[in-house]
Structures are given as C-alpha cells and as structure tokens.
Chain A
Amino acid sequence: MYYGYTGTILRVNLTHGKISRESLDLKMAEEFVGGRGLASRLLCAEIDPEIEAMSPENPLIFGTGPLTGTGAPATARYVVVCKAPLTGTIACSNSGGFFGPEIKFAGYDALIIEGESPEPVYLWIQDDRVEIRSASLLWGKTPVETESTLQKLTHPASKIACIGPGGEKLSLMAGIVNDNYRLAARSGVGALMGKKKLKAIAIRGTGGVNLADPEQFWKASMDMHAKITGDPVSFGSFRAYGTASLVNLINEMGAYPTRNFQSDTFEDAVKTGGEAITEDILERNRACFACPISCTRVTEVKEGPYKGRGEGPEYESTWSLGALCGVSNLEAVAKANYLCGDYGIDTISTGATIACAMELFETGALSEKEIGFPLRFGDEAAMVRAVEMTGKREGFGDILADGSYRLAERYGHPEFFMGVKKLEMSAYSPRVFQGMALQYATSNRGACHVRGNTVAAELYGIPRYMPPEVLEQKEEMVRRPFQNSTAFVDSTGICLFTKFAITHREICALLAPATGIDFNFDRSIVQGDRIWNLERMFNLRAGFTAADDKLPARVSEPSPDGPRAGSRAILQNHIQTYYQLRGWDEEGRPTRSKLKELNLEDFWNVCSEHD
C-alpha cells in the first residue's frame, strides 16, 4: 500500500502504441522526493543527455509530487521534464491548475511519454483505462478550444494538458497548457510534445490519494492554512494585486530591464503595473486546486483593437511584452499575453525574442523587408503582430519561433542575446540584484529566475535581508536557501508561493503523515542539494561546461540611468567561490566526495577526478 504516492508510473510509447505500468521505486522516491526530483531522476535513467532533444528517444515526463492532490493548501503542482528543445539542458517546467491532482486521482505518480506518433493523437486516461486516440479533430485548435472539445469527447470532468498551434509547429517558444490558461513554460517543452504529435492528454481520476496518518495530515494542513492565510504576502498582496504589483517596485529600484536590457528603468512602467491591471482589466481572481492564495487573475480587455480575455498578465509577462520591448500600452500587453496563451507559447522567451529583434531592427541588422513591417521598441501594434507571427511560425515568425539566441546569432549580433545557455533572462536586472546575477549564470535550465529567486532576500528580506548590491556571503545564499530549497519544494507538489509564509518544516510536517516516510528538515536540505547536482550532471553530460555559466557582456556594463546608475553584474564573476561551496571543482563538476555525500551515482562519468 502506498501513501502520498500512488506507487504506479504509467508509460506510453507513441511509436508502438504500447501502454505499460511500472512500480514506483520507493527508495528512489525517498532520495528524490517526487515532482522535479523524481522526474529528473527518471529522465536520467531513460536517456543519454547527448541525444538530440527533438529525437523520439527524448521522453516527456509528467511528474507529480507526493503532496499533489492531497488537499493540503496549495498542493496543485506538477512538472514536465525532458531534455529541453530550446536549450539542450535539462528541462523542468512547473504548472498548477487542476491537471496535476487528476494524475494522482487516476492512480499515477508520473506519466512517461516516449517515442513519436505517426499521426496527431491524444491520450485519454481514465483511472486504469488508457487509450491513444486520433487528434485529427483537434489539430490546429487553441488550448481553450481543445479543452472544451475534449471534455465533450471524453468526460465533462476530465482535465486537459495540451499544446497550442505553437507546439504543433515545433516552436521552441512552446509550452504545455493545462486548465485552459496555465502553462508549463520555458525551455520549449511544448515543441517536444508537438514533435511527438501528441496534441493533448485528457485525464480523469475517480480515485484518491491515500494518507498514512490522515488525522495528523489534516492537523498539519489546518496549521499551514492558518499560516498562509495569516501571511501578508501569500495571502495579502498576491491575492489583491497578483505578481504584477512588482512592476512599479522593481522599476522604482532601478532594476527593471528595459529595451532588451539596454537600461534598467522604464519611464512608463506604471501604465502596465499591477495597480493599472487591477483598475483597468481585472475581472476577478481564482485559485488552483486546494489553494487559499488564489493569485490567478482573470482579466479582460473589453473593446478596441486589443480586445481579448484570459488569465494574467503576470509580472514576467507584463515585463517581457512591455518594458523589455519598450511598450507601455497595457491593453496591447494583455492582448499579447492572451495570444501567447492561444498559441501555447512562453511569454518570457517570446517577449525577449521580439525585444532582441527590435534591437536588431533598430541597429539596421534586420530590415523591414525581412520582418514584413518595422519593428521598433515601443511599437505596441508591431509587438502584438510579432507575437502572432511567432505563434503561427508565419513569415519572419518562423525565425522568431526559435528564440533570441538563434536570432541574434543568425543576424550577426550574438551580443544582443540576453540570456544564458540559450534561455532568456527575466525581469530582475542582474546589474542590481547580485544574487540574481549568480542565479541566472548557474541555474540548471538556463537564465531562470524561479529556480532561485533571490529577490526574496535581496528585497523582501525573506529569509533575511541581504541588500542587492552586497556580494559577501551571497553565493551561499544563492546555493542553499534558494537553489537547493526550491529544488526540494518543486519536488513535493506544493506551490512555491507558499514559501513566504512557511518553511521546509511545515512542508515536511505534511510529507511525513502523508507518505508515512520520515521526511524532515535535515533530509530536505540534502534532497534539494541532490536534485540540483543531478541536474548539473545531466547538463555536463549534455556538453555544458563552466564556460556556459556566464552572463551576457551587456550586464557587466554599468546601468546607464535611474537610481542605480553605474551598477554592474559582478557576482557571477565570483563563480569559483560558488563552485567550492557546492563541492564542485574549478570546472564546475561535482567532486567524488560530493557525490558520495549525496549518494549520487556518477551517471555518465562526468564528475571531477578530484575528491
């Protein structure tokens, strides 16, 4: 009898149309927890990281955590893990909504989708009945259309994860959409799903998640409920203003990257800030499964050229489609955000790619003829048009759809690519937030902010305040309370947004009675470290080296204006300190003793010869 976990992993081979089931290795689960950790561990057993990301061997692994679907606060999360089409690193995209819990209710901890279907198909999973069905009716539909059609074809209560036209067209910007508007985004995971010609997964579960000690679990849930609903960030500002309330704050600090990172303040930030969104386009908020925070914003632009409805825009989307492109029209930004949802493409990378194209155009490296229209910073209509082209892979959009790294290289200005390991940076300037500088440089999926959002410490003071410009002791801060801790949390199935109100202790207080396994604080630290190191090894095998742990040259130049004029990204240059703290050698490879400490095998022999 399994508790917390279901004990079953479903494997679907799309090449041969075969369905099979495997037992969950509980020892592996204990070491890697679930979610991000477990799915990454499963991936390492499936492939050699040297393979082509778009090859049939690269599986899509949908992974849930032991807490997913248990009903404790904010336990909606699932992940999608594979080798990333956009970057070639390991990919782990995280999403909420209701799809993850349904996987557990159907009786699975993870779904491994391997191979490629010759024709477009969708998976229909009802508890233990699994069918591969033709998706010819669905191909070309937006996620919203796909979901409503599929619910008629399968069951009105089934939950859907699918790709939009972007994924179908193998755009490296594509993510996987669930519950109409939520995206497992970044890294181009949607392109892999499109390559497999898997349009959607529809899933319905009538079962439940067994709990080892329901009384204790419920008690810990109520305790966590009280902590979250009493917290001014988790329950206060997220609910009232969403993440976009950061726009004005980060801009006030002079840390809001503008016009492809040419500067760090945007003169019109307030027009697209959280307050403007709340006042002008917000309809209401809504929640993921079992979540009291309810940070999702349902918004609508009621009339005009940018009429549309959907969820968001969130902070990053508001930024990438707004300030990064020099655009200040909220309705255009919202519309671009809705379009990204319709096509199923990642807002951050899409916006960043368009911004890169704008800079190429303004410097004359890209002509109007090639694009089809002028593409200048600040031109909201052009930005929206570019988003649509990218989603459809139409005209110049075919090039945009492959991301800004390839775009900048192609037009002879690789220095205009604002990212690391081919993944674009996000809305916190590394010139100002030194912790983020190191985080962008070292994050395992490329320049990602979520995996180690040090702004929590560098601005809000959680767990403790470390001013953004301070370098001392910051490497350790990046490593442990951020990178390692996030790796742990991402593996449990609970949402990261609870972390402002609670710590590992509260999460372990749920994990133990849920699973009957001794999850505790000390083990959680090790588990997080282990998961991070595993991801690093994958990347090393995939060919990444210390040379790739670098930021674009532009952010080492002084910030030109604003209250932080003169700041430069510095901490990433202290990378040897970081490697040492990580127990890695000077090439950024885990040492033997580090592996021993973490009980990690040296997959693929990528580790240091040093002890």
Chain B
Amino acid sequence: MINVTVKLSADLRRYRPALRIDESLPLSVPEETTLLELLSEILQIPAHAIAIPIVNGVKCKLNQKLVEGDRVAFWPPMAGG
C-alpha cells in the first residue's frame, strides 16, 4: 500500500460533505492504483465530474499511476476570468 493525499474542490466537495475546504484526505491505496481507479472505486465519483486532475501541482491524465507521497487534487470543469 502507498500513502497519498486527496483534495476535492468546488462542487466536488458534495461527495464528501464532512470535508473542510482545505482538508486533504489521507488514503492508503494499493500500489499502481491509477487516478481513474482512485476516482471510480475508492472515491466513487463519476469520472465525467472531473475535468482537472492535478498531481503534485501538475495536470495529468486519469490513467496515471499513483506513487508514494502523491498529492492529488481534483477539480470539476471550471474556468475564470
């Protein structure tokens, strides 16, 4: 198992209403778990709700495998001015 942290932002927080705004979820997940698996099996958030997955500050693809210490953050589709 490897340890990662996960942050949910904006309206994704409705999937974990108990989480405070900046709180990260510490999770231990099997090695080689992909972001998609993290989303669908562990967090049970539909993949289409995510537009911007960020690992350690870098936007990445959902098939990326997690490694020890990864800081994951998910954002729904969003934009700004």
Q: Which residues of A contact B (CB under 8 A)?
A: 231-233, 236-238, 240-241, 243-246, 248-249, 252-254, 270, 273-276, 279, 314-316, 449-450, 453, 455-456, 459-462, 465, 467, 497, 500, 562-564
Which residues in chain B, 19-74, are within 8 Å of chain A measured between CB atoms?
A: 21-22, 51-52, 54, 56-59, 73
Contacts of B54 in A (CB 8 A): 249, 252-253
Given A252-B54, A563-B56, A232 contacting B7 (CB threshold 8 A): no
Secondary structure call for the B interface: loop
B18 at the interface (CB under 8 A from A): no
Bound-state CA distance A578–B52 (Å) is 29
Give Cα A246–Cα B79 distance, bound, in whole angstroms.
Answer: 7
Which listed residue, B13, B56, B76, touches A237 by the CB 8 Å rule?
Answer: B76
Q: Closest B-chain residue to A236, C-beta based?
A: B77
Closest to B75 in A: A249
**Given A241-B11, A275-B13, A460-B51, A253–B59 Cβ distance below 8 Å?**
yes
Label chain A's interface by main secondary structure: helix
Chain B minimum-CB-distance residue to A428: B80
Q: How far is the CB of A27 from the nearest CB of chain B, in Å?
A: 34
On whether the beta carbons of B77 and A245 are closer than 8 Å, the reply is no
Report which of B7, B11, B81 forms a contact with A450, defined as CB distance below 8 A.
B81
A276 interface neighbour in B21, B75, B77, B78, Cβ under 8 Å: B21
Q: How many A-B residue pairs lie within 8 Å, measured between CB atoms?
A: 94
Complex-state Cα separation, A232 to B10, whole angstroms: 13
Residues on B with C-beta less than 8 A from A563 are 56-58
B21 touches A237 (CB 8 A): no
Instruction: Check B59–A274 contact: CB distance below 8 A.
Output: no
Give every chain A residue within 8 A of B76 (Cβ-Cβ).
232, 236-237
User: Bound state CA distance, A238 and B79, in angstroms?
Assistant: 7
What are 6 A-B interface contacts by the 8 Å CB criterion?
A232-B51, A233-B77, A246-B78, A246-B79, A276-B21, A453-B81
Which residues from chain A contact B80 at a C-beta distance below 8 Å? 243-246, 314-315, 455
Q: Do B79 and A240 touch (CB < 8 A)? A: no
Closest beta carbon of chain A to B48's beta carbon, Å: 9
A residues in contact with B13, CB < 8 Å = 275
Would you call B52 and A459 a contact (CB within 8 A)? yes
In angstroms, Cα B52 to Cα A562, docked, is 19
Chain B nearest CB from A488 CB (Å) reads 18
Nearest-neighbor residue (CB-CB) of A273 within chain B = B21
A236 to B58, CA, bound (A): 23
Known A-B contacts A240-B11, A459-B52; A562 and B57 likewise in contact (beta carbons under 8 Å): yes
A246 to B73, CA, bound (A): 13
State whether B56 touches A241 (Cβ < 8 A).
Answer: no
Asked if A459 meets B59 with Cβ closer than 8 Å, knowing A248-B9, A270-B21, the reply is yes
Of A236, A279, A455, A461, chain B has the most CB atoms within 10 Å of the CB of A236
Question: Which of these, B11, B21, B57, contacts A252 with CB under 8 Å?
Answer: B57
Considering the complex, give the chain B residue whose CB is closest to the CB of A462: B79
Considering the complex, give the chain B residue whose CB is closest to the CB of A456: B79
Q: Of A275, A456, A462, A467, which contacts B10 at CB under 8 A?
A: A275
Min CB distance B81 to A, Å, is 5
Pick the residue among A249, A254, A467 that contacts B78 (CB under 8 A): A249
Q: Is the CB of B21 within 8 A of A243?
A: no
Residues of A with C-beta under 8 A to B78: 233, 236-238, 241, 245-246, 249, 460
Rounded to whole Å, the gap between the CB of B22 and the closest CB of chain A is 4
Residue of A whose beta carbon sits closest to that of B77: A232
Q: Please tell me if the beta carbons of A460 and B77 are within 8 angstroms of each other in the complex.
A: yes
Residues of B within 8 A of A497 (CB): 79, 81
The answer for the CA separation of A276 and B10 in the assembled complex, in Å, is 10
Identify the closest chain B residue to A496 (Cβ).
B81
Of residues B22, B52, B57, which shows the largest number of chain A Cβ atoms within 10 Å of its Cβ?
Answer: B57
| Distance to closest chain A CB from B58 (angstroms) | 7
Rounded to whole Å, the gap between the CB of B70 and the closest CB of chain A is 12
